[in-house]
Structure 1
Amino acid sequence: MRPAQLLGIAFGAALFAGVVTAVTMGAFQALPGEAIARAWSTAGIMAGVAFIVVLLGLSMLLLVVDPAAQSKTMDRPVLLPKDDKRDGDETPES
């Protein structure tokens, strides 16, 4: 994943969180100016928190992925150990 994609996803999540917070706190209603200012400041704080959390969370998840393993093909079940034999793979013993 490129850095621009990572920042774009984090920005989209922050925008969503900010808009949802602003709408639920009544930023678009006919309220006193102090309530609208409080709604927008809380929305900005929530957008910043969402941006940082999503950016750090995705970055930590990307650190787990081995880039060399992305190009390899898997021809066995992923969750089985490498030395475990399946039922149909048994060889007769002599």
Structure 2
Amino acid sequence: MTDKPTRRDLMRPAQLLGVAFAAALFSGFVTAVTMGAFQALPGDAVVRAWSVAAIAAGVAFIVVLLGLSMLLLVVDPAGQSKTIDRPVLLPKGETAEDDEPER
């Protein structure tokens, strides 16, 4: 058995759906509060606030789910266990000692 994570291990559906659902709840609640769903408004305004909040929650759910899925497609499963012992932003031929100022 290998210790390398597979793509299936990285893309656990329950975790992706949980994060997307939490973002949807947050955006729906914020939208409902800002539109006055909990205030003493006429019935029309409260229904409109809840419907817009539901739409915002649905959009947030889909956007977060697609965004996280696309980001996970970029990750190389074999590269998860590699250690990086050099600065990430430097080209492969250079070392950090080359750029240090003299004292």
User: RMSD of the TM alignment (CA)?
Assistant: 1.5
- Identify which of 18, 27, 30 aligns with 2:28: 18
Whole-Å Cα distance in 2 between the matches of residues 32 and 57 of structure 1? 38
Percent of aligned positions that are identical: 80
Q: Which has the higher contact order (CA 8 A, sep 6+)?
A: 2
Aligned partner of 1:87 in structure 2 is: 98
| Large movers: runs of 4+ above 4 Å | none
1:76 matched to 2:86? The reply is yes
> TM-score when scaled to structure 2?
0.78
How many equivalent residue pairs?
A: 88
* Greater radius of gyration (CA): 1
Whole-Å Cα distance in 2 between the matches of residues 37 and 47 of structure 1? 15
> TM-score when scaled to structure 1?
0.85
Extract unaligned runs of 5+ from structure 1: 89-94
- Deviation by residue 1:22-41 (Cα, 9 ceiling, x = unmatched): 01111111111111100000
Extract unaligned runs of 5+ from structure 2: 1-9
